[in-house]
Chain A
């Protein structure tokens, strides 16, 4: 039933493969979280400037992506992404066949999903900053950039950290869906190993434990960050 002896490192077992797969999961999560935060900032910006068109586009994006299963979004980007990239390349006069590699597609797909959650968190924490502070900064003659970097961002980070921690956990768990695209991360590795060894229970439990470790450790990291960032901040 269990073949945990197959988890040794080296040629006799799957230990090193699982280590690489875990690093791949972490890599995809970190990259897509970063890209997702970047997309989220743009989305929030589109929502808070007084422009009906950008706000509509941003609302449409968050509503649709949050209302559709993650798996569908991943399939759509995985199977439709190449066509989109090629048609964009065609505009610039490049007619050859382009194929994005699995990591790029995985990162983009998870980032598109994660950005919708991050944008809600960031928007809420932006709205938590009192208008008076921005007005005060303007009265001091600060320009838009220094207001953004010196007044808004430090406070947004402080307010948003708990929410961003939640989004990180969701993103980390969503990377398991990437296995359907063939990128070898924890989930895919456990399927490959269990097909070879005919022992799905062993390798699926391994995968579950690895995910549990990742979520627990990163949860601790976010707790520490929260404590760090809320120094001198009385609620």
Chain B
């Protein structure tokens, strides 16, 4: 038995697991900033998209079109390599953020998730029945109160499953930030592979951690769905 445990402790997967684990905080840091920021911005963009101001709505629509039509990798490279090559950006205050691969990653992930999130939330807002808005108006609700008390709670509740999907896609998308030399889990796994020539062991260790992270995300979304859909619970 002890021999067996020793053999596990000496195995590459076991050693790599803890090496890759040291990159977990960097992955989570990326998510902790870009997901909440992305949600707030997506909400604003979705409201702008359904607004009656044509210019605003069109601008946001074309932003969404461009971001959804190009791969995330292009966006990350554009921000990290592209913006960094422009002289006046290098000399401006923006350079304090853009010289760090971490902030480039955060910016790219946020830009990406805002486009997808805004489209999801727009679907939710537009699917609200007119009668509910009208009854709010007849009660004398102002625009902001209507938004806060009627439209947003219903819309967000409706789109929770698809927004949860987007959150999981974002967890997976953080791995692309490793291509800008940022050392999160995929970056560390690649470094291990370059050192030990054992690709399978390194990437399986990283894969297990990503699966775990996504599992937590699924549970979180399930909890939110349970919390905000009290009328759908079978027994209270």
Task: Report which A residues bind B (CB closer than 8 A).
Answer: 1, 64, 67-72, 75-76, 79-80, 83, 173-174, 176-177, 179-180, 187, 190-191, 194, 198-201, 204-205, 207-208, 211-212, 215-216
Contact = CB atoms under 8 A, between A and B. Distances in A.
Contact of A79 (B86, B179, B193): B193
Nearest to B199: A79
Q: Is the interface of B mostly helix, strand, loop or mixed?
A: helix
Interface string B6-25: 00000000000000000000
B86 A1 contact: yes
Interface-centre pick from A72, A176, A180, A187 (highest chain B CB count, 10 A): A72
Interface residues of B, number: 40
Contacts of A211: 69-71, 74
B141 interface: no
Given A69-B210, A207-B74, A216 B69 contact: yes
B69 A215 contact: yes
B200 interface: yes
Q: Is the interface of A mostly helix, strand, loop or mixed?
A: helix
Given A67-B210, A68-B172, A204-B81, A76 B199 contact: yes
Interface in B192-206: 193, 199-200, 203-204, 206
A197 B199 CA distance: 33
Contact of A67 (B176, B179, B193, B214): B214
Interface in B45-84: 66, 68-75, 77-78, 81-84
Nearest to B82: A201
B181 to A, nearest CB: 13
A166 to B, nearest CB: 11
A83 B74 CA distance: 31
B175 A71 contact: yes
A211 to B, nearest CB: 5
B72 to A, nearest CB: 8
Contacts of B193: 75, 79
A64 B174 CA distance: 17
A208 B78 contact: yes
A187 B74 contact: yes
16 contacts: A67-B214, A68-B207, A69-B174, A71-B178, A71-B186, A72-B207, A75-B190, A76-B203, A76-B207, A176-B74, A177-B176, A194-B81, A207-B74, A208-B70, A208-B74, A211-B74
A150 to B, nearest CB: 35
Contact of A187 (B66, B73, B172, B189): B73
B28 interface: no
